[in-house]
Amino acid sequence: MTRILIIEDEKAIRMALEDDFMAEGFQVDSANSGTAGLQKGSEPNYDIILLDIMLPEMDGFEVLKELRKRNVRTPIIMLTAKSLEIDKILGLEFGVDDYVTKPFSPRELQARVKAVLRRVNEKPKISSEKQISFGKIMVDFQKYECFKEGKKITLTTLEFDLLKFLIDKKGNIVDRDQIMNEVWGADVFVAPRTVDTHILNLRKKIEDNPAQPEWIIGVRGRGYKFLSS
């Protein structure tokens, strides 16, 4: 049984999430503050954690930082209400596996949770190459590590999978449908612009000038292409 921890202070949302995930067959636990969430989340009892950002005592960012500092590798999906927070999530040096913007539909959230779990469980989905270098970037797809000029940069697991897929298809154009099917999975609904958003984030991390990418090139009306070096 998949075990989920829901860290959310708003009672109505928390209870709705508890009901939704229980109905889906998850074993559900919850916490209503940052400190309670940190305490529960530090135990190796969960397969995935949903973490709200605006929380009493400790906010979601602090909880995340502390969990990762304690070497908790449980996948985390952040729940965010503000676009300002999204920028902060994208800039995090600590791994977040995905985020969902409030208000979200239970269906969307469940699809995201399942996609993260599927990615985590399918690891390692290693093809021939484990370590790849291009330009100033070195990626180790086995260890899920990425370096730019020797300095570690943090990619989410989704960004690793996305980059891996583009590199596997290097030199070829892949359209958004292919990316969605391969990276998110055919059973998961994501809006096509979600692909664009994650491509943009990935560019911000690996490209020198994200506005004029050298590696992940957009092909108007068709999709994206990783340039072969």
The region of 9-17, 90-98, 116-124, 170-178 touching Ca ion under the rule CB under 5 A is 9-17
- Number of residues forming the site for Ca ion (CB under 5 A): 3
Q: State how beta strands 216-219 and 173-174 pair.
A: unpaired
120 binds Ca ion (CB under 5 A): no
Minimal distance, residue 54 CB to Ca ion, in Å: 4
Measured from the CB atom, is 52 or 98 closer to Ca ion?
52
d(CA 28, CA 26): 6
Minimal distance, residue 137 CB to Ca ion, in Å: 36
Measured from the CB atom, is 40 or 118 closer to Ca ion?
40
Q: Among 54, 117, 120, 132, indicate the residue that binds Ca ion (CB under 5 A).
A: 54
d(CA 164, CA 168): 6
85 binds Ca ion (CB under 5 A): no
20 binds Ca ion (CB under 5 A): no
**Nearest-CA neighbor of 226 among 155, 147, 161, 171?**
171
